[in-house]
Every structure is written in structure tokens, then in C-alpha cells.
Chain A
Amino acid sequence: DADVTQTPRNRITKTGKRIMLECSQTKGHDRMYWYRQDPGLGLQLIYYSFDVKDINKGEISDGYSVSRQAQAKFSLSLESAIPNQTALYFCATSPAGPITGELFFGEGSRLTVL
């Protein structure tokens, strides 16, 4: 079983709909992240959380919100989806302690907004 699990893996929705992408992890890591990947571009950080009571905006947080329900769960919401939010979304985790660049990624959630 995957250590970082994202659901759904694929979702097609319409403009204006509310969408939630969920992430759960069994790695016991305190830190969790949501990234977005567009074709031809690298990953862009949407939000990150260093523990259950900590939420921080990343580079591209507009139009998104997150909830850290527990150490193991971090969900990403699009309150009113728009077509330019069509992308591949990745959840990632890292352990507490000195920050390194080693993140552990899920397998991605592809979202299409029509």
C-alpha cells in the first residue's frame, strides 16, 4: 500500500463546483504539502502545514483552501472550480526536524474542470 494516498485519482467536474482532494499518509510525518503540476512546468506549492495547528500559503494559494484534520490527513478544496485549475495535484509529506528537500509524494490527482 502507498504511504501517501490521494483520492480521487481522477476527477472531472464543471465550472463553479466545489471539489475536495484528500490526502492521507501512514509515514507518521508532521509536515504535509499540496502542489500543482501543469504540463511543461514544474511543481508549484499551493499550501503547506508543519503540524495540525499550522497552515501556510504557498506560491499559488488563491482559489484554494486546505484543512489539516489530523496529523495523517490534509485535504485541498476548490470552493468554486474554474477551468484554469485543471491540473495534476500532488500531496507530499516530510518528517519534522531540520528542513531538507526530501519530500514523499503521492501518486497524484488529475482534476479536469470543464
Chain B
Amino acid sequence: GESVGLHLPTLSVQEGDNSIINCAYSNSASDYFIWYKQESGKGPQFIIDIRSNMDKRQGQRVTVLLNKTVKHLSLQIAATQPGDSAVYFCAEMILDSSYKLIFGSGTRLLVRP
């Protein structure tokens, strides 16, 4: 498959455990934060998003937490499954006239059976 990152930070978890992937963002003016999942050989896939006026949002088995004070974003995956193995990217966006989605460098999640 395609290599999306040779030297990415890697998180290794046991199947069934919870995973927490962290991201530090750069712009305090960002309005919107998004998590993407990229499996080997595929394009990124949207997971969940959160607006800057929220601090928590839940989806199916995933929760995103936003701490604007320290400019930190996290993605929590409950009961991690082998299919969750992928590279995860956070992204930030300012909702102004010039659309720009700024991606982080990614974290590789490995799920041990």
C-alpha cells in the first residue's frame, strides 16, 4: 500500500482497549477542527468534527475533545478494533473568505490482536 509517513509518531494499543490520539494545533483563531483516518493505500476519510464553541463531541465509538486554552485536540476511540489501525490526522480551519484546511502530520495507530 501507499506509505503515508515513514517517521510518524506511533500509538500501539491492545485490541479492546481505548485509544487516545492527541494533536496540538497552531492557530487560536481556528473555528473548526476535524479528524481524518487514512488507511494504507487509501485517501483520508472524515471521522468527526467539532466547532470551536464546543469542548466535546461524541460519535459512534469516537469522542473528540477540544481544549482551546492549551490549543489541544484529542480523539478517543473506544474498544479499539483491528480495523482502526491507520494514520490519524487532525485538521483545523478558519471560516473566513479563504478556505484553508490545515492538516497536522499524523499519528499511526497500531492495534495488537
Physical interaction between A and B: yes
Q: Does B7 contact A40, Cβ atoms closer than 8 Å?
A: yes
Partner of A42, one of B33, B93, B98, B105: B105
* Minimal Cβ-Cβ distance residue in B for A38: B5
- The reply to whether B91 and A39 contact each other, CB–CB distance below 8 Å, is no
Closest to B104 in A: A42
Interface size on B, residues (CB 8 A): 30
B7 touches A43 (CB 8 A): no
Q: Is the CB of B7 within 8 A of A101?
A: no
In this complex, which of B4, B45, B104 has the most chain A Cβ atoms within 10 angstroms of its Cβ?
B4
Say how far B10's CB is from chain A's closest CB, in angstroms: 12
List 14 A-B residue pairs with CB atoms under 8 Å apart, sorted by A's residue number. Answer: A37-B4, A39-B3, A39-B6, A41-B105, A42-B103, A43-B89, A43-B103, A56-B98, A58-B100, A99-B95, A101-B33, A101-B91, A103-B46, A108-B43
Question: What chain A residues lie within 8 Å of B104 (beta carbons)?
Answer: 42
* Interface secondary structure of B, over-half rule: loop
Shortest C-beta distance, A43 to chain B (Å), equals 5
For the complex formed, measure the closest distance between the CB of A66 and the CB atoms of chain B, giving whole angstroms: 15
- Identify the A interface with B (CB < 8 A): 4, 37, 39-45, 48, 50, 56, 58-59, 88, 90, 92, 99-108, 110
Most buried by A among B42, B43, B46: B43
Binding site for A on B (CB under 8 A): 2-8, 32-34, 41-46, 49, 89, 91, 93, 95, 98-106
- Please indicate which of the listed interface residues A42, A48, A58, A92 has the most CB atoms of chain B within 10 Å of its own CB: A42
List chain A residues, Cβ under 8 A from B46.
101-104
Q: Which residues of chain A come closer than 8 Å to B99, judged between CB atoms?
A: 48, 50, 56, 99
- Cα A4 to Cα B45 with chains together (Å): 12
Residue on B with the closest CB to A10? Answer: B2
